C-alpha cells in the first residue's frame, strides 16, 4: 500500500488508516489480534476516536510492543484547559504511551487559536512543548472553517468528510492542503467496505489524502489487496 506524508509533519503514514472505536466491543485478546492483522496488512495510522477509557485500555493492550511503528491520532472536545489536560492524561496512561502523534480538536464551534480567551490552544502548545503531543490537528465538516484554517497555519492536519459527492469548493480545500503544508485526513467512511472501496478509487486522484475506514475484518481483507 502506498504511503502519504501528512503536511509539514514528519509522519509518513499508510494511505488508508483505521478508526478504532469499534474495538470497544471486542475482548482484549481479539483487540490485539485484529490490530496485529491490520499492521501486517500495511496499516500504521490509527485514529482513536473520541476519549473513551474502555476503548483506550483495549488499544493500549493491543499495541504493546509495536507502538513505535504506529501513528496514533486522538480526538478531543475540550470545554476547558482542565478537561483537556485530564482527558489527555488518562488517555496516555490507558494507551501505555508517553505521547499522541496527533491531538485533534473535534468539530469546534469556532477556531481555537493562540491567545484566545479559553486558553485551550495555548495549553496544546504547552503539551506539545512537553512532548505529550507531537502535532495539532482539527476535524470539521464546515467548509468555510476548513478553508480558513489552511490560511492560518496553526493546525498541522485537517480531517474533513471528502467523498465523490463533494462539491467543487470542498475539493478545492483538499487540493490546497499540500501548498498549505496541512495533512489531509478523510473522516471515516461509516459504510460497507464495498462502498468505501469505491470512494478509495475516487480519492486516488488526490495523492495527499489519507483515508480512514472503520476497523473491520472485511476492511483489512480489502486493504491486503491494495498496491
**Region 205-217 average pLDDT:** 89
| pTM for the full predicted model | 0.95
Strands (E), 21-169: 45-47, 71-76, 100-106, 133-139, 157-160
**Region 90-95 average pLDDT:** 97
- Residue 65 CB: number of other CB atoms within 10 A? 9
Burial of residue 25, with CB atoms counted within 10 A of its CB: 0-12 exposed, 13-18 middle, 19 or more buried: exposed
Q: What share of the chain is helix, strand, coil (3-state, %, to 5)?
A: 45, 20, 35
- Kindly report, residue by residue over 8-29, the tens digit of the pLDDT: 999 999 999 999 999 999 999 9
Q: Is 108 helix (H, G, I), strand (E, B) or coil?
A: coil
**Region 23-36 average pLDDT:** 96
Which CATH number is 39's domain given? 3.20.20.100
- Kindly report, residue by residue over 182-202, the tens digit of the pLDDT: 999 998 777 677 777 778 788
Compute the CA torsion angle 213, 195, 173, 9 (nearest 10 deg).
20
The residue ranking higher by pLDDT, 70 or 52, is 70
Is the pLDDT confidence value at 51 over 80? no
pLDDT at 164: 87
Number of domains present in the structure of the chain: 1
Q: For residue 8, what are the domain limits?
A: 3-223
The answer to whether 107 and 140 have CB atoms below 8 angstroms apart is yes
pLDDT at 195: 78
Amino acid at each position: 500500500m502506498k504511503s502519504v506524508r501528512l503536511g509539514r509533519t514528519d509522519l509518513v503514514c499508510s494511505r488508508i488508516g483505521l478508526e478504532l472505536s469499534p474495538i470497544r466491543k471486542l475482548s482484549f485478546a481479539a483487540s490485539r489480534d485484529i490490530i496485529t492483522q491490520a499492521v501486517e496488512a500495511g496499516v500504521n495510522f490509527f485514529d482513536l476516536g473520541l476519549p473513551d477509557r474502555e476503548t483506550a485500555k483495549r488499544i493500549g493492550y493491543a499495541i504493546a510492543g509495536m507502538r513505535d511503528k504506529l501513528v496514533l491520532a486522538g480526538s478531543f472536545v475540550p470545554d476547558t484547559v482542565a478537561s483537556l489536560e485530564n482527558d489527555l492524561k488518562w488517555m496516555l496512561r490507558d494507551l501505555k504511551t508517553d505521547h499522541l502523534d496527533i491531538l485533534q480538536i473535534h468539530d469546534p464551534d469556532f477556531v481555537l487559536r493562540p491567545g484566545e480567551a479559553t486558553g485551550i490552544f495555548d495549553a496544546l502548545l504547552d503539551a506539545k512543548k512537553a512532548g505529550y503531543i507531537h502535532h495539532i490537528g482539527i476535524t470539521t465538516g464546515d467548509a468555510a472553517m476548513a478553508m480558513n484554517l489552511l490560511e492560518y497555519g496553526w493546525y498541522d492536519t485537517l480531517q474533513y468528510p471528502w467523498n465523490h459527492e463533494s462539491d467543487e469548493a470542498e475539493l478545492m480545500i483538499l487540493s490546497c492542503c499540500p501548498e498549505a503544508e496541512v495533512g489531509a485526513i478523510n473522516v471515516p467512511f461509516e459504510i460497507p467496505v464495498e462502498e468505501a472501496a469505491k470512494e478509495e478509487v475516487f480519492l486516488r486522484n488526490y495523492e495527499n489524502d489519507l483515508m480512514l475506514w472503520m476497523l473491520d475484518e472485511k476492511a483489512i481483507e480489502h486493504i491486503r489487496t491494495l498496491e
